Copies of this chain bind each other. A is one copy, B any other.
Amino acid sequence: MPKSAEKCKEIRDDMRNRILHESMLYFARNGFAGTKISDLARHIGIGQGTIYVYFDSKEDLFKEIHRMINGEKDIARVKVLAKLPINAKQKIHMMSKEIMRQLEENESFAGIIALNTQMVLEEAAGNTADTAYQLELYRYTAEIIEQGQREGSVVEGTPMKLADYYWGVVYLYSLKKLFTTRYEMISAEDLERTVLK
C-alpha cells in the first residue's frame, strides 16, 4: 500500500519536526542541563516515550536540533549580500533590517541564534563541524566590515572582532526575546552602531 506508507511517513515527519521545533525553544531557554525530558514532553504536549521513538537520547535530540539550525539557509542571504556590488554601509543596513525583522516576526529565529552562539561560546570540545557554520557566517560579515573599513564607513579594528561584536548584540536581543516579555527592542540603527562610524 504505497499510499498509506506515504501518509505514514508524512505523519512521522510532522511529529519529528514538531518535537524538533518545540524543543529548540525549550533548550534555548533552559539550556541542556536545565531541560528535563518530562518537562519538555509536557510542554510539547506528548508522552515522554514519544520523544524516544524519534530520537535516540536527549543528547541526540540536542544534536539534531543543531543540525536543523545549521541547515537553515539564512547564511545564504549574508553570503549573497557580501557578493553584491553595493557599498558596505548599504549591506549592513540591509542585513540589520533583515535581522531585526526576523527577530520580530520569526518565532524560531531567536532560538536559532541563541543556541548557535551558546554553542560557539562553549566550544564544546571538538565540535568543529557545528561551529564551522557560525564561523562562515562571521567570515562573510567580516568581509563586509573590511569593505566598509576601506570605504571609510566602518570603524577601525579587527574585522573578525567587529563581526563577533555585531552578532553578539544579535545574540543579546535573542536572549531578551526568549526570556522576557517586557523589554524594548533596539532598532536596526542601534545594532549598526556596533560597527558603523
- Interface residue ranges, A against B (CB under 8 Å): 2, 30-34, 47, 121-123, 155, 157-158, 160-162, 164-165, 168-169, 171-173, 175-176, 179-180, 183-184, 186-187, 189-190, 193-194
Pick the contact of A172 from B30, B171, B179 — CB < 8 Å?
Answer: B171
Copies of this chain assembled into the complex: 4
Contact A179 B31 (CB under 8 A): no
Q: How far is A30 from B118 in the complex, measured between Cα atoms in Å?
A: 11
Contact B180 A160 (CB under 8 A): no
Known: A161-B184, A171-B172. 9 other contacts (CB 8 A): A33-B34, A121-B176, A123-B180, A155-B189, A155-B193, A164-B183, A165-B169, A168-B172, A169-B169
- Listed by A's residue number, 5 A-B pairs whose Cβ atoms lie within 8 Å are A31-B34, A161-B184, A168-B169, A171-B172, A193-B193
Residues from chain B with Cβ under 8 Å of A172 in the complex: 168-169, 171-172
